[in-house]
Structure 1
Amino acid sequence: MIGKILGNRYEIVEKIGGGGMALVYKAKCNLLNRYVAIKVLRPEFINDKDLLDKFRKESQAAASLSHPNIVNVYDVGEEDGVYYIVMEYVDGKTLKELIKEKGKLSKNEILDFTRQIALALKHAHSNHIVHRDIKPHNILVTEDNRAKVTDFGIALAATSSTITNTGSIIGSVHYFAPEQARGGYTDEKSDLYSLGIVMYEMATGRVPFEGDAPITIALKHIQEKPEPPSKYNPSISKGLEAIIIKLTQKEQSARYANASALIEDLYKIKNNFDLDDIDNTLKIEDSPTQIIPMVTANEIRQLTDSQDEVKTMNIKNKKGKKDNSKKDNKRKLVIGSAIAAALVAALVFTFAFFYISDLFKVEDVKVPNFVGMNIEKAEKLAEDTGLRLNKSTEYNSKVPKDEIINQTTREGMMVRKGFEVKVIVSEGSKLVPVPDLRNENATNAERLLKDAGLEPGEVSEDSSDEYPIGTIIDQNPRQGVQVATGSAVNYVVSTGPKVQTFPMPNLLGKTLEEARSILKQFKLEEGSITEEYSDVYVRGYVMEQNIPADKEVSEGSVVNLVVSKGSDVPDQMEEIEEGEDQEGTQSSGTSTKSISINLEEYTGIVDIEIYQINGLKSKKVYSEKHNADEAKGPIRVNVKGSGTQQLAVYLNGEKQEPNVEVNF
């Protein structure tokens, strides 16, 4: 494995440890440029479906936890048959190695390490995770003396089955609780028992129970009381010894109720201390996690029989060593004693057999499905089944009040009679008061509702002379009304004062000045002003408007205008007939008149245009260029027409005021 790269980023550097099911390597994460620890399932187990499931459970259990006293899990994967978990690399030693180095730890060391482990367990238990393999091999101690719990390989969520009913049990036999040995119900108190054994080893340098085989040690956990720690460490304080004894009680109910209660007692006797720096070396475990058969009552009887047989042999050996001369005299006494001893042994064996059989005889019942059931009906069903309900409540808007939302022990699971099933009962929707949204800016409405546990509903708009634009002017439900959490609140947003509308005035045929005056009168905005040629409208008069006349408009509307530039094709003027009187000789109903035009204010060439105005129509009747410098005063130009006409005079494109009225 050394040099292998997993997941295209983790380069295996060295092997740093191992256990019964997996090996641990130090690796470098090439992506984040840091060292990590990679736990790899041993090759011999990759075809074992059960072990693969347990390996996956470890990653799921540990990944859900985040605590300074728990080793973090970063990643999990599988590559070419290699199943691995990427964890935080802890530069330090295991607690087991520390105990081996020192033999016995000081009172302050025991208290400090125990407190940190208990804090980690408190966090795990609050997330419904039971470790089930607490031992000093699974406690890493960093260089700054921080204890970190690792290896959740057989951890089990408290919401799943916590009874081993497969005929085998997993764990480290020197440290697991009596209920684990029996394959019974395990819970948070099972972890506390294992922690008590770890404390025992820290205080004495040894575990309380030893044996030639795992089954022997398991039986001792069930049957025997450990020797008081003070027997091996007379200097241990009474308070510390009392904590260890309480943690290692056979009955779960006699132990601490939870990790918090243990931490409180630890604080009562804790003193400050310092530790030397710790090396980073991890060894192969000498107490590996194992799968061993469940300890049965038959095995307990067999162990009892073998112990009685050894005692009988010792008695016979001792009697055989006595003086042969006294043998004959006491033969009857020996035989009588042997018979009596056999009878006593038989009575003890018989009593033990029936007592232990009763002890392990537990009636199993199947857990029904309580979810969706009314609590009263559920309690009746639990009583009929032989179970007890441990009720907690929470608000839930989707589940009716007094109906069970969830149960921590799954349906169909076999448990002992009298088992306590935890259920969560709905209190219905939580009622909260509606906040006052009026006078608030609409942009703040969603935040205010979210803070109150509510949701924004339908948003509408309306005009208001009282509230500025964007301000909430009304809401439904009203302020202070009690509604269910998550309910929607509708509100109305102001669009400002109501706008008055009126018909658009007609500006066609008006001069630009007249049109501007009308726009100002109606509080309309002047837009773009453009000019175009027109054979219909006289130059300088409005010929188009972008908003048609009589269309409904409001104050402030923008109006664009097009103003006439006059005709773009000059009319051909009829030449004055030769001999005609320049002052007005009539010909065929028309006559020619001379008009005086003053060019005193102009210099150079002046473009003179004259239009005959007839209502909205106009006709160009004169277009010539004159030299103002030569004119030296007013000039006269001849214009042809008939009747009385209004003539508009333009000099260099500028209209001269007023118009000239001529009688032809």
Structure 2
Amino acid sequence: MIGKTLGNRYEIIEKIGGGGMALVYKARCRLLNRFVAIKVLRKEFVHDEEFIKKFNRESQAAASLSHPNIVNIYDVGEEDDTYYIVMEYINGITLKQHIRNNGKLKPLEVINISTHIAEALNHAHENHIIHRDIKPHNIMITKDGQVKVTDFGIARAVTSSTITQTSNTIGSVHYSSPEQAKGRYTDAKSDIYSLGIVMYEMITGILPFDGDSPISVALMHIQDPIKPPREIDNSIPLNIDKIIRKSTQKDKSLRYDTAEELLKDLRLSKNNLEDDVILFNDFEDSPTQAMPIIDDESINNNKVTESSPKRNNKKNSKKKKRVATLAIILAFLITAGAALGFFLLQGYLNDDEVQVPNFIGSTVEEAKLKAEELGLNISVVKEEYNSEYEKGIIIEQSKNEGRTAIEGSVIDVIISQGIEVVTIPKIAGQYYNNAEILLNDKDLKKGNVTEEFSDLPVNIVISQSPEAGEEVAKGSKVDYVISKGPESKLTTVPTLIGSNVDSAKNSLSAYDLKLGDITYEFNERVPEGIVYEQSQPSGKEVEEGTAINISISKGTEPAPEPEPEEEPVTKNFKFKLPKSEEDRDVQVQVYKTEDGERELVYEEVHNTSEKEFETSITGEGDVTITVYYDGEEAQTKDVKF
């Protein structure tokens, strides 16, 4: 694939990753002159028509998403049985790599990363798209700390058409919800469960469930309770523990209803790590109760009771009347006694009670003078930022105006710290999605956003108002202008076919166009050195500066010399098994890719204590050998046989 151009636009530069479903390459978009990531489906999937339909449908749906925490999908295409997705290129690492590099993460970092993931999920769910494969492997962290969720909408196509590809599920089963493990209906709450497992791994450094096989792990998600994070590490803040436990409830009805609810608790916890501030904390207060089954026997028993003799009905009726009469008399006596006690107590207390005045809007000194006249005391318990009242003014009181209080009582009040001020960050020069993140981090809002032509690249912020460094009230709006790139001017493509290279170059220059790639191929009908094909037809209007590719004839192709037939060659290979602190079994799979065909040539279970294993492989010419341990790609080597 290296060096190939897809869609006459995306030039493949290097391989940067891969999994059981696809290979990922870094490419350059010739049209916009930027780097992109291209996910190319493996050959074994391209002949599954149902899968290809779902793959295209789900990928195009995901392409409609636009959010700073979601990897953008730019294009979906197919060329010569090569199906691919063009995505935003992220220069960074996966969250899985970040956890491996750092172990368990700090609480504030866990909340920040989780908030960005939840914001991405909330945007997708509002657009009726469920991810279905949230795991650290599908979450990217850029070098400047941005969090990006990838593979939106693709998981739905994979799970329905590649269920037999066990290697695809090994990495995901650790994060799957109970309903996914059962093959039941999945919805937004399934994504919330998976995010809860990701949070668990971030804060503890370990997964809640692990086993010898994907099936055993799936059963644990269905049956076994999750050990609370604070039982693993009691230094974990209570709020994070509660959020994780609510998100990972096996009963969907006890989880957060929406990602927005989860976001509210995450945002509250960010500034109150040690205080119990969780809003949606009802998962322990409503235990599931078994209800009696209404079956035919129950209905029949009920009918027998209703058809008892009239004699019994009369006795029961008399008893019920006597019980009802006694109940009415007793209720009357209790009510009368309570009323009498209330009036006696009220009369006793009225001598020492005063009505609480309104302290809101007063200074503390004014409130104290007013309170002393009534025999009350004022206590300042808290200061809060407030946009309505100036600094030092009371904004809340523990007992409202008009209520009664005993003389000597203390009225708690909260006073204003005034408007909370934040410093405007510099967003000029940033991409527009980065600008939104910078504003959100400062609790500022996106204001009026306009677009203008400029020499800056597309989607770069040209200017902002207010300027960077200015101090404004928290929650203020910031207006900015985004670049639409240079203003395009149109020109006409000249006729290049029939000319030589120099003439073609001069013609293009005269029309303010550039010469693009030159391809040389044999052509029996066109003399050597003459252009026989151009990438844009003559007479078409294109932007000035567009590169036009041409094909030049090499003349008639000489008769090829017969090549000696190559015999298959068998070679022995040794591969190191993964290192492990404890000896464990590893499922080993070795694939060879030869002439575009992929074949499983070795599959065994080895113990890590063996250190390495050996196998022989037969092949011809250039062969790619790929080794998987427990379904995850471990190493790839190109071998010439």
Larger Rg: 1
Normalising to structure 1: TM-score of the pair? 0.39
TM-score (norm 2): 0.40
